[in-house]
Amino acid sequence: MTAGIITVDPTEDRTSEGATRHRPGLLRQLPMTVLVFAVVLVIFVVPFVFIVVQALKTPADASSLSMAFPRTVQFWSNLTTVIQAKDFDLVVAFINSALLTVVSVTFMVLFGAMTAFIWQRRRGKIGFAIQLMVLAGLVIPPAVVPTVWVLQSMGLFKTMPGLMLIEITFHMSFCVLLFRGFVGTIPREIDEAAIVDGAGPLKLFFTIIFPLLKPVIVTVVVVQSVAVFNDFVNPLYFLPGYPTVQLTLYNYISDYLNMYNLLFMNVLLITIPPLIVFVIFNRQMVAGMTSGAVKG
């Protein structure tokens, strides 16, 4: 009579042990996950739902500023009124803001990438001077009155090129920092090989380095486009009298009458484009911001 041989599958033990070992970690992470979702819900979802609800209401219902769903939905009426207000002022504002955003962000990408490349590759006095200017741009707050005086002396006050120059200047430091972190991951051997092949400084940058910066370029374009498109203060101070999307909110606020349903419909319309941009380029933006965090 032969004794039976009992075999034990080591995979089952490891699997069960691993499940037992990881289960407490998952349980410990659950409260933090719930907290993060609650914060996101309160900060982002609830305000957006509030905007949508108010945009659907009649003037009487919207005056209460409550989260209650409207008894009478007035979406199309509010939409057409906002678009046609003041001879299609919102349409003109969208054109102005789009032009301001495209031109400003284009120069931010070009100047920011070139400055970051020089800063990262040259560690001498030039790199130190660039570092001081970038830090000054991040730390020193902009002064409105001296800036207005400078623009007036240049003949650029109350002009679109003047506002573009302001946007480029105020956002340049952040762009340079993002580009510098990514340029640091590009080996210097690539520069040396291109120089040996006869490439000059401009050819080296635009044909070799600049195409490699695509991930961080997407990040800069998305972040700065939303920032410039949603800017309220700079157009108010440096381009008075010309509508941009944020300044159109003044059309529905006064000392005697506040049309909250039209105000929130306007807010909804100018919120949709940045929201779509973030949804489409979310992964590319995160990848661009993290790719330069560790130098390769």
Same structural domain, 130 and 270: yes
Same structural domain, 238 and 104: yes
In a domain, 177, yes or no: yes
In a domain, 164, yes or no: yes
Same structural domain, 98 and 201: yes
In a domain, 78, yes or no: no
In a domain, 70, yes or no: no
User: Which residue range(s) make up the domain with 42?
Assistant: 10-55
Same structural domain, 138 and 31: no
266 pLDDT tier (thresholds 50, 70, 90): very high
Place of tokens 């090989």: 193
pTM: 0.80
Same structural domain, 40 and 128: no
Whether the predicted pLDDT of 52 surpasses 80: yes
pLDDT at position 96: 94
Rounded to the nearest 5 degrees, what angle is found at the Cα of 101, between the Cα atoms of 96 and 106?
A: 135
Same structural domain, 129 and 266: yes
Give percent of the chain above pLDDT 90: 38
In a domain, 216, yes or no: yes
Same structural domain, 165 and 278: yes
Q: Report the CATH number at residue 105.
A: 1.10.3720.10
In a domain, 80, yes or no: no
Same structural domain, 15 and 141: no
Q: Is 200 left (phi over 0), alpha (psi -120 to 50) or beta?
A: beta
Same structural domain, 29 and 166: no
4-18, 38-52, 74-88: lowest mean pLDDT where?
4-18
Same structural domain, 281 and 179: yes
The alpha carbon torsion through 215, 217, 223, 226 (nearest 10 deg) reads: -130
User: Torsions phi, psi of 239, nearest 5?
Assistant: -135, 55
CA pair distance 59, 38, nearest whole angstrom: 31
In a domain, 106, yes or no: yes
274 pLDDT tier (thresholds 50, 70, 90): confident
Across 238-257, average pLDDT: 83
CA pair distance 42, 50, nearest whole angstrom: 11
Same structural domain, 115 and 247: yes
In a domain, 69, yes or no: no
Place of tokens 């301001």: 100
78 half-sphere exposure, CB direction, 13 A CA radius: 25
Whether the predicted pLDDT of 296 surpasses 50: no
Q: What pLDDT, in 10s, does the model give residues 83-141?
A: 998 889 999 999 999 999 999 999 999 999 999 998 888 877 888 888 888 888 888 88
Give the count of domains, the chain.
2
Same structural domain, 272 and 188: yes
